[in-house]
Amino acid sequence: MTEPVRWGILGAAGILEASAPGISLAENARLVAIASRTDEKAHAAATRYGAERGVEGYDALLADPEIEAVYIPLPNWLHQEWVLKAAAAGKHVLCEKPMAVTATDAQAMIAACASAGVVLGEAYMYAHHPRFDRMREMISAGQIGQPHTVITTFSFDASADLDHSGFQGMPGSGAVYDVGGYAIHSARLLLGAEPHAVTARSTISALHGNIDITTSALVEFPEATLLFHVDMAGADTDTIEVIGAHGRIVVPHAFLCGPGQGDFTVNDHVQDVPETNHYVAQIERFSRAVRNEQPWRYATEEPWQLARALEATSRSYQRSERVPF
């Protein structure tokens, strides 16, 4: 049996409640260490999430020769710095979404990892659930006809948590960067096409760092339209509806899919899907890529393409105009 990939985590962010077990439960991964800025926090996180040890300082973890791959769940504006440092240290990198705040940043990260010969992945975990492969197959087989509209909503209420990383007014803050990427990423995945223009409108919250706390957008694809609403101060919702010429696909719990929530409907018929932890599936796929057993799920340029779309969406709501890209 292939030796498990030895993982480290940079940071003890709250998202580890969901993502860290993905490493611990994966058959081909081993959670060796979690780093935090203080020794106390590092050891507390290691104990909480089942890592073998805590490490004080991100640089110290990157210098550890035992670590082969790192997961980076840091705030968006810190991604480029630590992806570049990880690549320079020869570590494979799975970076939390969105990997890059700008397309230029994405290009720099892609180039650095290619030069270092390490695998680079953007952690859109939802797409590793087998239902998305089945949906793509059904769309390709014409079961709903030519898809012409995708409607996506992703909302949650974090408005009382003023320390939330999405509320700091830093580059990559706000609803578009926090959850808007899911809407664009999934539409690209299901349509098999790239968007080319966006028109967005937002509600800006001064209390939360002058960020877009809600955004609604129309994203143009060559033969379809994505309509999405993302909200950091709304009721919990994460749904996708794909409307075609002859039918539709409806996906409840599209992105935050817990136990028993993987089913979806095609033309009102429920599709049963094997129970899957998409965080575990993501880590196992990435670890296979590290061992050269299977390619990473996404093309190398994928984070750059998504960063272009996120930048354009931000420009659109800031300028109140349609933005081609």
How far is the CA of 270 from the CAs of 127, 244, 278, in angstroms?
19, 17, 20
Relative to beta strand 197-205, strand 323-324 is antiparallel
* SS3 assignment, position 197: strand
Reading the block at residue 181, the tokens are 């990427």
**Local structure of 312: helix, strand or coil:** helix
Kindly report the backbone phi and psi dihedral angles of residue 239, in degrees, each rounded to the nearest multiple of 5, phi listed first.
Answer: -135, 155
Long-range contacts of 262-269 (CB under 8 A, 24+ apart): 262/129, 262/131, 263/131, 264/131, 264/135, 266/138, 266/143, 266/144, 267/143, 267/144
Longest dimension (CA), the chain: 58
- Give the contacts of 261 (CB within 8 A, at least 6 positions apart): 252, 253
The number of beta carbons lying within 10 Å of the beta carbon of residue 233 is: 16
Residue of 41, 85, 91, 97 marked active site? 97
**Alpha-carbon distances of 161 from 13, 120, 166, rounded to whole Å:** 14, 31, 10
Whole-number Å distance between alpha carbons of 234 and 249: 24
Check if 97 is active-site: yes
Bond prior to 98 in cis (omega within 30° of 0)? yes
Report the C-alpha gap between 211 and 230 in whole angstroms: 13
Query: Helices 16-25 and 39-49 sit at what angle, rounded to 10 degrees?
Result: 60
Give me the active site residues, please. 97
